[in-house]
Chain A
Amino acid sequence: ILNVEQSPQSLHVQEGDSTNFTCSFPSSNFYALHWYRWETAKSPEALFVMTLNGDEKKKGRISATLNTKEGYSYLYIKGSQPEDSATYLCALDSNYQLIWGAGTKLIIKP
């Protein structure tokens, strides 16, 4: 059974600072790893899909890497802005289902 852990559970970051958080998994027995961004009272928004060891994806100030051999993915945010405040979740795509971590709640302090 795949188990997805995310750390930290929450994070307070000063506006303008860069930050990163982790998604870890014990097995690489999945098809893809997804990162989602979820703002309060909105729908989860897909950020990245990664499938291969060493994958790196970037969208604006946000980027992600995948290391299936060591069992982790990092999400990086450069120069945090207030609009980056949200919960960031990773999910493993395995056998037609997404297996989710509990998320990292990011709060940007102005």
Chain B
Amino acid sequence: DAGVTQSPTHLIKTRGQQVTLRCSPKSGHDTVSWYQQALGQGPQFIFQYYEEEERQRGNFPDRFSGHQFPNYSSELNVNALLLGDSALYLCASSLVVGEQETQYFGPGTRLLVL
């Protein structure tokens, strides 16, 4: 059973460009969350997708957008890249079982904006 996968693993872009990151959830999971982690900090929540809709959003500008497909995979899009967008982007998938929901994480995509 494959876990959460993300692509690409690394990416270099320049300011002003646009980027798309991809995530395939763990088999059977229907919810995907995206996080940004800057060096030395904990991950920051970007948004969560469930049933192809954005269910919750963190404190990120509209330049950050996403999508969830019918097979539950997801994309994170960032427009008009800024130097400060350089970070590790983590995707997590989950499935509520009973009253507990554990998020399972992919290895991340490291984005460098020059």
A and B associate? yes
Chain A residues within 8 Å of B, Cβ to Cβ: 4, 32, 34, 36, 41-46, 49, 51, 89, 91, 93, 95-103
Chain A residues whose C-beta falls within 8 Å of the C-beta of B100 in the assembled complex:
32, 49, 51
Asked whether, in the complex, the Cβ of B45 is within 8 Å of the Cβ of A97, the reply is yes
Also in contact, A43 and B105, with CB within 8 A (given A95-B56, A99-B45, A103-B42): yes
CA distance A97 to B54 in the complex (A): 12
Q: Which among B41, B56, B102, B105 is the interface contact of A97 at CB below 8 angstroms? A: B56
Residue of A nearest to B102 (CB): A46
Asked whether, in the complex, the Cβ of B102 is within 8 Å of the Cβ of A101, the reply is no
Asked whether, in the complex, the Cβ of A101 is within 8 Å of the Cβ of B42, the reply is yes
Residue of A nearest to B99 (CB): A51
Asked whether, in the complex, the Cβ of B42 is within 8 Å of the Cβ of A89, the reply is yes
Chain B residues within 8 Å of A, Cβ to Cβ: 3-4, 33, 35, 40-45, 48, 55-56, 58, 90, 92, 99-108
Chain B residues whose C-beta falls within 8 Å of the C-beta of A102 in the assembled complex:
40-42
A-side binding surface: helix, strand, loop or mixed?
strand
Total contacts A-B at CB 8 Å: 56
Shortest CB distance B5–A (Å): 10
Residue of A nearest to B107 (CB): A43
Asked whether, in the complex, the Cβ of A100 is within 8 Å of the Cβ of B106, the reply is no
Chain A residues whose C-beta falls within 8 Å of the C-beta of B99 in the assembled complex:
51
What are the nearest 9 A-B pairs in CB distance?
A100-B42, A96-B56, A97-B45, A43-B105, A44-B105, A102-B42, A46-B102, A100-B43, A43-B107
Asked whether, in the complex, the Cβ of A96 is within 8 Å of the Cβ of B55, the reply is yes
Centre residue among A44, A49, A103 by max chain B CB count within 10 A: A44
Chain B residues whose C-beta falls within 8 Å of the C-beta of A43 in the assembled complex:
3-4, 104-108
Asked whether, in the complex, the Cβ of B102 is within 8 Å of the Cβ of A98, the reply is no
Residue of A nearest to B31 (CB): A96
Shortest CB distance A40–B (Å): 11
Residue of A nearest to B46 (CB): A97
Residue of A nearest to B5 (CB): A43
